[in-house]
Structure 1
Amino acid sequence: MSVEIHTITFDGDLRLFELQALSIDQLLDHSQITKYRIIINDQNEMHIRETISSFIDRYISVALRRKIEILSSSKYLTAGMDGWKDQQYLKLFSVADSVAKWVVVLDSKNHFVKHTTINDFFQSNKAKTYFCDPPTSQLPWLHKSLAFFHVSNFQLLTMPTVTPYTMKPSLVRLMINAIRTDPRIHDKQNIFSSPSLEGVSEFFLYYAFLLKLGSIDDYYHASPRLCETLYTVWPQDRGIVKRYLSAVASGEYHVFGLHRKRLPQLSADERQMISNIWKVLRLPLPASYYLEFTK
């Protein structure tokens, strides 16, 4: 089974990206992946490319280096004013542009925190996923994504909208083709500029398409989450944060997500707990370097 890892990064996420690359090299059995694709979504692309290439040459093993592909976001779209929205579309176009059977999609905030194999992402030849009650703030994205594909068989719980997310390229290509040939889409080259797709999200759109096909059970297996994440504003309760970090430290999760905008909010105790989690990695710089917020 061929599997690729795709990630998107930009200037503000570079330090977290470095952490991700180190974790893939040291904790993931990357002999099982065919490609590690890094997409640069930043107007200062040349500087970012040089920085990433220098880091990879210095700190990443030859074995993983041979599988790394660095691409510009311009291969897939013309950058707009909203980098966050562009990043959503980039994930879909990148996955569609893959010959692998599966792609594990990451954000720069994701890194491995214990020894992992690709098999940890699958069960019975199906990709692991989980189902959750979407936050109220995400309901407009969900409803608009379901509406685009005229889906009415929504059953309250949805597949996640966060990374890591394992996607099937053949299904993403089928979805993009369905969107491109839809009569509501007038600009076939820039399909996501269409008003009919305003307010959708990439993973909800994929989920809606799977519902339309009735194919979720054919390709996905409900399983416990592989990742715990500290987002920009969630959770705020220090007790919950400590519980999350303790669970990551105990080995409950394979992947830890740490949003860069969370970094300035971390308490001294939380920073120490995260530093301890990272002791499993051979970091070339002190943990404080990766915990520093950069704009």
Structure 2
Amino acid sequence: MKKIIILFSIGCSFISLTSFAVALDYPCNKSVALFLTDRGSITDTPCVVPENRMLVEGGYGNQFLITGDTLQSYPQAEVALGLPAHSEVFISLPSYNRQNSIPLAAGSGPTTLGVKHEVLFGHSWTFSAQGLLVLPSGSANFGAPDVGGALNGMFGIDLTSSVSLAGMFGMSSTTEAIYVSGQRFNSLNLSIAPTFAPTETVTLFVELFGQTKTAVDLGGGLNGDFGFLYAYSQSLVFDAEVGQRFSGKLGGYNHYMGIGLTGLF
């Protein structure tokens, strides 16, 4: 537990001590939900919620598991608050999970706290740092019995007016649910996501993401997904995505589908 708290503290200290020049025009200098939501892809946006604004995300996911069962997850709620100095804090609330196994498995996932800061940026790119703290919480079959954490870096680059590239890399330390093993495993994680915006209200994406460890007794895994985000307005975004397992057992599924909404207040 001490190692996780130290990891999170280092991340917070790094985020709080970084400084950069103010720019009037850069990719994240847009107070619209389409550029701020983390939904859709595994890769989080490098952009932070504007100061004194609040971003609320939610959604529904249906996984088709390797075991042949299906797993539904909702509401996948996350609330982020914008802070001064290009920073935000957020909380990922527990989701209810229902697996149609025999016997039926159902329960809640853990609660996660986080902080994100835009560290560096230029006219067409942004780099941010993120720290996560997973609290010991949730049910015995889907929760976390001990403290977990992650430290991530993420970037976004505008290649053209309609084509961008986003990515995220980091390290994590998490514990499996008690009913699985209750033990801890550490992983290095990487994702990359090219995006294409045919209009100002639609963004299409494809993505590859992987981990060096996917469970206590398993090695690495590689998955992919694709989907779209549609901005109904500057403050409301709808997303839909489909994912596929390529190698290993990352996520425990063969493929999944998800939908969601994001609101900026």
Is the radius of gyration larger for structure 1 or structure 2?
1
- State the TM-score, normalizing by the size of structure 1: 0.25
Richer in strand (by share): 2
Richer in helix (by share): 1
- State the TM-score, normalizing by the size of structure 2: 0.27
